[in-house]
Structure 1
């Protein structure tokens, strides 16, 4: 079970990292800070006014239909409608003015906070980037080393293209480190298994031969 997990490490690791960053990118693009613009307030006001006007038109039509039958009721209805319309318009105007005032007053503070967060975040990312890259390279290298050393004994838990990628990446890393060499060794199950061995281990094997 352990060799199987080790050989599958490269594939699982790369897929999980890809999905992780894909989700992070999706969250960053959908949960952005949104400012309430003045145009948006104007649109809301226009929609409310149109709605109020349409209500008034409907009421007027009803009044015209009922006018002959109930003059007194019509008068009361007109008074009520006028009062309601005035109250609604006043409330809407007050809400819009207060809302615009709050947005205008809060915008500079929000912008300053966002700028500070962005600047600090960029600074932290730039400072941490080398460490993160080193850690990721070490983790990937470790997984790939284990994967390559057990790949052939498992008869292909990685695809051919993935195994080629692993070989290329690990070869570049070990060339820089200069502490490992590729070697073909014999196992009870297979006559030739490609593994990575430390130089000193390889020297000991050669001496024994």
Structure 2
């Protein structure tokens, strides 16, 4: 949002530091990601079963924005694919230093139309057995992550440039959790990610809000002080 005087809110830096009290535990962050992946894979399997007994084309139902369910699932599937791919691409320079900053930078690196097109293409690439493809991507991501010792934090090449694994991994958990909820809503399913996945995603949400300077507005809204502007999103 824009302030009354026309100025943009200044970013707030969360007190996240290596070994600090609010820093994610590396092992817990990996667990959250993998559990988010399992939740998503099971969800896609359930959609396949729903499609088999439904009179309409479940995959063609409205998903999110311009995406149908297939494109939404395809886009979400990329959270698994990109992690496995990027872990094999080391970087030399850190362009992104935090989870919140990743979302700010990625908004400038990839336009909405390109993101939408990638989702459609990813949905088509799922083929006739989306659940099988998703399970394979989850296993690839699991194996790629297992090759990196928990105590290591490699600098990997992402869409925004060099990013530490510790900053990038929570963005994948966030994508799986948020879009997982989008998918359940689109398909009329009553499913919720595990509690620790939601907690990890909520921390990412706060980090994004902090990076964009939205913490005061979010705090006031969530404590009932004032409403957020119509259409507000910490994602921009």
TM-score of the pair, normalised by structure 1: 0.29
Identify which of structures 1 and 2 has the higher relative contact order when contacts are C-alpha pairs closer than 8 Å and 6+ apart. 2
Bigger Rg over Cα: 1
